[in-house]
Homo-oligomer: A and B are copies of this chain.
Amino acid sequence: MNKPLILITNDDGYEAAGIQALARSVATFSEVYIVAPDGPRSGAAASITCNIPVSYRKLTTTSPNQHLYTSTGTPVDCVKLAWEQILPRRPDLILSGINQGDNASISIHYSGTMGAVIEGCMKGIPSLGISLYLPRGQRYEDHPVCPEALQALNTLCQRILSDGLPQDVCLNINFPNRPSFQGWRLCRQARGLWSAEWATASNPHGEQSFWLTGHFTDLEPEATDTDFAALRNGFASIVPIHIDMTAHENMNQIQLLLSPHSL
C-alpha cells in the first residue's frame, strides 16, 4: 500500500527550523512534499500574488521520503502551485508550520501559516496549521517542540488520515513553550486585541517610517476554554476553524438593520 502523501508548507520559508522538524517527523510514516516560500512570509495571511508572476524550483534533499520545492510566492501560492503543478497526485493531508511564534486568537487572520491551511481546506483536503508559542524575539531552534509533542502530532495526523475532518473545517494547533507534552485541549479562538502597533524610525533620506510591532491583550483572561487559556496552562491548543465566516447567529440582528421602516 502507498504511504500517505503529505504536503507541507509554512510562512517562515523552507529553511526554517520548524518546517524541517515537522517534515522529519511526519516522513516516518508518509511521503513528504515540501513546497514552501523561498524566504520569510510572516503576516502573509491568505494573500495571493496577483500582479506579478511566481515561479518555483526543485531543490535536492538527502532526507528520506522528502521532496523539496521552493517558490517565490506566498504560502497560499505554494499550496496552489503544489496542487496543480508539482504533486504527483491529490495530497492526503496538508500541514503548515511549525511556525516560529503562535497563531492563537485573532492572529489567525494575519497568519500565513493559517492562510495556507485555509487554502488546503478550501480544496477539500484535511489541513492543519501548527505553531509554537515563543517569547518575543526567541527563535524556534532555541525552544523546539519536544519529541513527545511531535509524536502526539504524528498520532493525530494518522487519525485524521484515517477519519478525515468535517467538511470545510481545518485545525489551528498551537504548542506551548514547554519541554514536555501535557496533552491537547480542544478550544475556541480567544477574543484579543493588538495595540501600540507601530515603532517609528527614520531612514537615511530623512523620512519617517514605521515598523509593525504591537502588544497583544487577551480580552478573556478568565476564560478556560480558549486557545490562550490552554497555552497559559501548558497545553497544546486545537481550534477547529470553519472557512464559512458567516455570522449565522447574528442574522436576525442584521435583518433588523435592513427592515423596510429604516431603509
Contact = CB atoms under 8 A, between A and B. Distances in A.
Number of identical monomers bound together in the oligomeric complex: 2
B50 A246 contact: no
A44 B44 CA distance: 8
Given A160-B257, A242-B250, A247-B169, A198 B81 contact: yes
Given A122-B193, A169-B250, A240-B254, A43 B47 contact: yes
Interface in A94-140: 106, 108-110, 112, 115, 118-119, 122-123
Contacts of A238: 254, 258
A212 B258 contact: no
Contacts of A76: 45, 110
A80 B110 contact: no
A200 to B, nearest CB: 8
Nearest to A252: B186
Interface stretch (A2-10, A17-25, A59-67, A151-159): A151-159
A90 to B, nearest CB: 13
A1 interface: no
A241 interface: yes
A207 interface: yes
A183 B208 CA distance: 46
Contact of A110 (B48, B188, B253): B48
Given A80-B198, A257-B160, A47 B47 contact: yes
Contacts of A106: 122, 243
Given A188-B246, A238-B254, A245-B108, A46 B45 contact: yes
Interface of A: 40, 42-51, 53-56, 74, 76-77, 80-81, 83-85, 106, 108-110, 112, 115, 118-119, 122-123, 152, 155-156, 159-160, 163, 165-166, 168-169, 171, 184, 186, 188-189, 191, 193-194, 196-198, 201, 203, 207-212, 238-251, 253-255, 257-258, 262-263
B53 A203 contact: yes
Contacts of A49: 43, 212
24 contacts: A40-B51, A44-B45, A45-B46, A45-B47, A46-B110, A49-B212, A53-B209, A55-B209, A56-B210, A80-B197, A80-B212, A84-B198, A106-B243, A109-B115, A159-B257, A160-B257, A166-B247, A168-B191, A169-B247, A188-B244, A189-B245, A238-B258, A240-B247, A240-B250
